[in-house]
Structure 1
Amino acid sequence: MATTSTNGLGRSIYSYSDLQGFAKQIQDRTSHKPTIGIICGSGLGSLADKVEDSIVIPYSDIQHFPVSTVKGHHSQFVIGILKGKTVICMKGRFHLYEGYPAWKLAAPVRVMSLLGVQTLVVTNAAGAMNKSYKVGDIMLMKDHLYLPGMAGNNPLVGPNMEKFGERFISTTRLYDSSLRKMARVIAKEMGYSHLIQEGVYAMVCGPSYETPAELKLLSVSSDVIGMSTCPEAIVAKHCGMTVFGLSLVTNKCVTDYDETEVDGPNHGEVLETGKLREDIIQELVAEIVAKID
């Protein structure tokens, strides 16, 4: 594969034809034409298990496509029907801490766009900085604080791909308010209103979890913290997609140095909480997908 563009720092990035090649390899494997994309976060891969008449395409089967290396991420696309809508699920995403640059993390979103996806549902596991949040709560994302992006690691750095969108995009209303409102109504109908929060997601690079000092700083403007989502959401916006995001609170963040009985978060805890809430997350996302126009 020839990558013909650079990101301004002399590093090769996927060209538009590269992305078209990825999309064609997927199209050649299925007759489905997805209009909704779903990115499954840590411990939330079971979301894809509800997809019917599905075809599974491992990322490793797509020539030159990146693969996920994190436990709890299965590194495959699942394409099929969910509640009457044709969807493509990423059962496994990529992260900055795996060594991937931001533009590569979000490349699958561009591929989804080329396949016809118009709405992106992005999920993640996150730690709660907001003291009122409980483990197992589900936070609807109304905004984000993208720390790596503010430091120059934005997925849109480099030559602009005009076929997707303009050079400069507004992210003031990145996460769709009407879908958040719909999610609240659906959660109430399902009897899960007590689990629903709405707030701001902060993204750091990882893979180390945050220090108490870092958490105290970020908690001024954010409610939960994680290591993903923002690059995909930004590129989805650049592609003209509607974006809906939700975070599963998998742990309470430790901000007090004297909390000696608490060791802090660990990945096993993240996966365990994902398993605990997997049925509810599946139901909620499936019903949201069913009502997306």
Structure 2
Amino acid sequence: MKNIAEKAKEAAEFIQNLTEEAPQIGLILGSGLGDLAEEIDQSVKIEYKDIPHFPVSTVEGHAGRLVIGTLKGKKVIAMQGRFHYYEGYSMQEVTFPVRVMKSLGAEFLFVTNACGGMNKNFQPGDLMIIEDHLNMTGQNPLIGPNDDQLGPRFPDMSSAYDKTCISAALHAGESLGLRLQKGVYAGITGPAFMTAAELIMLRRFGGDVVGMSTVPEVIVANHAGLRVLGISCVTDMAIGEELEGVSHEQVMAAAAKTKPKFISLVKEVIQSLPA
């Protein structure tokens, strides 16, 4: 049976046969945010189902393909749709695209998501720069034998989100006149939305927003030596004491409204990075 490194190499070689681009930046585009990939110039689009060892996205709002090309003068590879643990994939499958991005030469990983806001100072439509996270999934994609060619046995997560990238994002937001929040992302497995008591618990633990993705990918990105920037789109308020019902359709609609300023922010940050 092939290991993760071998599978990632095969997937990368398949992609390299379709494009000569060597991406510097990997983008994981969350629910309702995939339109950014449509702005990539001279793009090559590859369906997940065609890539060796790739899972297939099953969630509404996730197109399910890689888009490779140039954005704001930088070589990028974007995931239009990600994979989630709640879809039935293993943590290793969920994070496999990050391994492939690293194999293709990426140095940065930008992860985005739609989330619920637990911080009472937030409001729907806010963009939050992730400063840190809480792994509340009860799982870790690095469990099992470690492959030293992929990363160290015990990766340092003390600065899981790159401080230079955070500063660049905050500066970009200021230059665009955007209201940006900063905070901690609490990652859960889903697919059920949280109960009121669970949300109160997560807020007391230090979480500002809650979502069902991002944490596994960030763990693997740090294991692989990628510099990470995380941006959350607050689509609804998830305050336990004031909890109202929410649906995936509502999340998608709210993400769509926030899309223009989200896209502007990511493009501004990409442009600010060194070539």
Contact between 1:137 and 1:249, CA under 8 Å: does it hold in 2? yes
- Where does residue 143 of structure 2 map in the other structure? 157
Larger radius of gyration: 1
1:248 has 2:233 as partner? yes
Tell whether 2:97 aligns with 1:134: no
Among residues 28, 46, 64, which one is paired with 2:53 in the alignment?
A: 64
Contact 1:253/1:264 (<8 A) preserved: no
Confirm or deny: 8 A CA contact 1:254 1:264 kept in the other structure. Answer: no
TM-score, normalized by length of structure 1?
A: 0.91
Q: How does 1:208-227 map to 2 (within 5 A)?
A: 208-220=192-204, 221-227=206-212
Residue number in structure 2 paired with 1:173: 159
What is the aligned counterpart of 1:203 among 187, 191, 212? 187
Letter of the 1:215 counterpart? L
Which string of whole-angstrom CA distances, capped at 9 and with x for unpartnered residues, describes residues 125-146 of structure 1?
Answer: 0000001100000000000001
Q: How much has 1:15 moved relative to structure 2?
A: 2.9
Q: 3-state SS of the aligned residue for 2:134?
A: strand
1:270 aligns with 2:270: no
Q: Deviations over 1:174-230 (max 9, x none)?
A: 0011211111111111111xx200000001110000000000000011000000001
Q: What CA distance in whole angstroms lies between the structure 1 residues aligned with 2:15 and 2:95?
A: 17
2:7–2:52 CA contact under 8 A, matched in 1:
no
Moved more, 116-125 or 265-274: 265-274
The reply on whether 1:285 has 2:266 as its aligned counterpart is: yes
TM-score (norm 2): 0.97
Q: Distance in 1 between matches of 2:161 and 2:245?
A: 30
Task: Give the Å deviation of 1:254.
Answer: 4.2
Q: Aligned partner of 1:96: which letter?
A: Y
Give the aligned length: 273
Q: CA RMSD in A?
A: 1.1
Structure 2 residue 222 is matched with structure 1 residue 237? yes
Contact 2:132–2:160 (CA<8 Å) still a contact in 1? yes
Provide the C-alpha distance between the structure 1 equivalents of 2:52 and 2:4, rounded to a whole number of angstroms.
15
Secondary structure in 1 matching 2:240: coil
Equivalent residue for 2:40? 51
Pick aligned residue for 2:170 from 172, 175, 184 = 184
Name the CA distance, whole Å, in 1 between partners of 2:52 and 2:149: 23
Look up the equivalent residue of 1:281 and give its one-letter code.
F
Q: Tell me the CA shift for residue 63 of structure 1.
A: 2.9
**Distance in 2 between the 1:161 and 1:88 partners?**
24
Distance 1:18 1:102 in 2: 15
Tell me what 1:92 maps to.
81
User: Can you give the 5+ residue segments of structure 1 that lack an aligned partner in the other structure?
Assistant: 5-13
Q: Distance in 2 between matches of 1:199 and 1:205?
A: 20
Q: Tell me the amino acid that sits aligned with residue 270 of structure 2.
A: V
Tell me, yes or no, if the aligned pair for 1:44 and 1:278 is still in contact at 8 Å. yes
Residue identity in the other structure for 1:171: M
What residue identity is the alignment partner of 1:17?
E
Partners of 2:112 and 2:269 in 1: CA distance: 13
Q: CA deviation at 1:241?
A: 0.6
Unaligned runs of 5+ in 2: none
**SS of residue in 2 equivalent to 1:219:** helix
Determine the C-alpha separation between the residues in 1 that align with 2:53 and 2:273.
33
More off after superposition, 89-98 vs 182-191: 182-191
Structure 1: 4+ residue segments shifted above 3 A? none
Tell me the equivalent position of 1:20.
Answer: 9
Q: Partners in 2 of 1:228 and 1:285 — Cα distance?
A: 19
SS for the counterpart of 1:140 is: strand
- Percent of aligned pairs sharing the same letter: 44
